[in-house]
Chain A
Amino acid sequence: MTEKVLMKGNEALAEAAIRAGCRFFFGYPITPQTELAAYMAKRMGKAGGVYLQAESEIAAINMVYGASAAGKRAMTSSSSPGISLKGEGISYMAGADLPGVIINVQRGGPGLGGIQPSQSDYFQATRATGHGDFHLIVLAPSTVQEMTDYVFRAFDLADEYRMPVMILADGMLGQMMEPVVLPEPKTELPEKPWAVTGHRGERPHNVVNSLYLKPEELEDTNIERFERYERIKAAEQRAEEYLVDDADIVVVAFGASSRIARSAVNKAREKGIKVGLIRPITLWPFPVNAIGAAADRAKAILTVEMNMGQMVEDVRLAVCGRVPVEFFGRAGGIIPTPVETLAAIERIAASLEGGAR
């Protein structure tokens, strides 16, 4: 079962979700995530699960709400404009402490935008997917293998912390094919004593709800939830470090842009520039510890994103003014090239030398 297969990112992710015990998938067509739904339509029935195409993204996320309240592993997928529509349902899930997995195969925005890969939903994913005080756990894969591994993990995280988890991918990762080792199917899933499955007169009612008309009660639920968020921040920060130990310049990039950044780092090393890469895996909780530690050692930080500069704000918060934080990005569905990313690194290297003289 550990043999490698060649799969499209969207399809590998769908297969991994089924292997993680997801038996309820609620989809709606949108480019560039459509293969994911089509794969689920083919496979879910055979896996003994339910594939259902909703009449809108709003309907799909609320179906996840329903299936999750009944204690089942449920998932929905979409791309940027569709995630905007799901925002309401995601907020309700967070407010009702419901687990669930949401896939965003990002494309350029705002508005209808385009259908090319983008990372411009970073703010949406980490700051304000919907209304109210809440967070999602956000995982950012950078390979087809990670598309499968992270979605597999996402269901566990969602159940463990009783909250929605988002996989923030993009059109490039969704559409590309790479060899992948699929995980062994899960045989045991966690108990969910809170689920609304019928009390049969044997226990008090379970209530899944996000409405609290007494402000004190609502505040209490928010405080409890944020205490949980603190535990998550302490336990779940993940980042990959590459050539960071002796680096004067640390590049921070996630998802697809981290692949380009890695090539640029390798090229810069060949030219003798001491540069490394930190790839945040969890975008929330943001890996402030890894970036903070890098800021203690490095002389400058460069954030590379496929947007106008979003994650750079979290990097600056983590660095807290200790070293300069620069930004390089391309937006609108344009993927930065290794050459132009290298040029951005070289500009910083030159300014550091200039400063030393």
Chain B
Amino acid sequence: MANLKELTHREDRLAGGHRLCAGCGASVAVRQVLLGAGEDPVVVGCATGCLEVSTTIYPYSSWKTPFIHNAFENAAATISGVEAAFAGLKRAGKIDADKKVRFVAFGGDGGTYDIGLQALSGAMERGHDMVYVCYDNGAYMNTGIQRSSATPKGAWATTSEVGVAQAGKRQVRKDLTAIIAAHGVPYAAQASISHWKDLTAKAEKAFNTPGPAFLNVFAPCPRGWRIPSSMTVEIAKLAVQTGFWPVYEVEDGVWRQTVRVANKKPIEEFLKPQGRFKHLFAPGNEALLAEIQADVDRAYEGVLKRCAAE
């Protein structure tokens, strides 16, 4: 993998001047992922979401790549179609057999964990030579912070309110990376924008793996998480250090933790700076905090076990 110096010489394929918020994790994720594509041409598909609306305000585009957008639920299906057409044209001899083009789809957690899961599962199972990247900020941010199945337990969102009946979202988040790994795809990984080297290395692997690959990238949203825009990377780092977001890869069925956490920090350190968890620190919610810690520990141990077993 290229070192930082070499990476700085690569062209950014997502240009500045887009209209994402200051401190948005999504654009960081995209730039780091696309650095992993090397010099080959890349075709980008994108689900509806902040990333899509803020980078492609007609007639402008921030993408220095061919770009295709379709409805909210079907980025994986759309890029499947593009890849299938490319493969078909190759078979028909209309495109040189040694021509390399990368196909990647970006979607947020709403468009990936929820409404887009069917299309993603189909694409992974069919085995298209593509990379699907979820930038996970744990809610529908584009429509105004509604809960998704990636929203953490206890988080406030406009459709998981805080009050007497409940203290934010009641359910635990879905483990999407494991779900995709269970498809038996050659490469699935979980990464964070705070660990750029790990993320870009994983992107490089994902692009170089023939067949379907999946990256789940932790990408904080200052607006939705109620954090200052200067804290994006710090919060992402805390998610890794508290074990909330284990960073690992599953390569041909082999699980491997790629960023080891020496001394796992208490989950409070990740939760406390975020306004969406403020209520958890009010008197009376100690049990819920303990429950969240237990959930995180269990999930984290689960990942470690799977990594150790291999």
Which residues on A are within 8 Å of B, measured CB to CB?
27-31, 34, 37-38, 41-42, 45-46, 51, 53, 55-57, 81, 85, 111-112
Contacts and interface: CB of A to CB of B under 8 A. Distances in A.
Interface stretch (B123-131, B159-167, B224-232): B159-167
B160 A41 contact: yes
A117 to B, nearest CB: 17
Name the 8 nearest CB pairs between A and B, nearest first: A29-B143, A56-B115, A55-B114, A41-B159, A29-B146, A38-B158, A29-B140, A53-B159
A55 B166 CA distance: 20
B159 A112 contact: no
Nearest to B143: A29
Nearest to B58: A114
B144 A29 contact: yes
Interface residues of B, number: 22
Contact of A38 (B48, B114, B159): B159
Nearest to A115: B53
A2 B71 CA distance: 43
Nearest to B174: A55
A34 B141 CA distance: 12
7 contacts: A28-B115, A29-B110, A30-B143, A31-B143, A37-B146, A53-B159, A85-B73
Most chain A Cβ neighbours within 10 Å, of B71, B115, B166: B115
Interface of B: 48, 69, 71-73, 110, 114-115, 117, 140, 142-144, 146-147, 149, 158-161, 165-166
A42 B162 CA distance: 9
A29 B108 CA distance: 14
A41 B161 contact: yes
Contacts, number: 49
For chain B, what secondary structure do more than half of its interface residues adopt (helix, strand, loop), or is it mixed?
loop
Contacts of B69: 112
A158 to B, nearest CB: 25
Given A27-B159, A37-B159, A38-B159, A56 B146 contact: no
A53 B115 contact: no
A81 B71 contact: yes
Contacts of A57: 115
B173 to A, nearest CB: 13
Contacts of A34: 143-144, 146, 158
B206 to A, nearest CB: 26
A55 B148 CA distance: 8
Given A29-B159, A37-B146, A55-B117, 7 more contacts: A27-B159, A29-B110, A29-B143, A29-B144, A31-B143, A34-B146, A55-B114
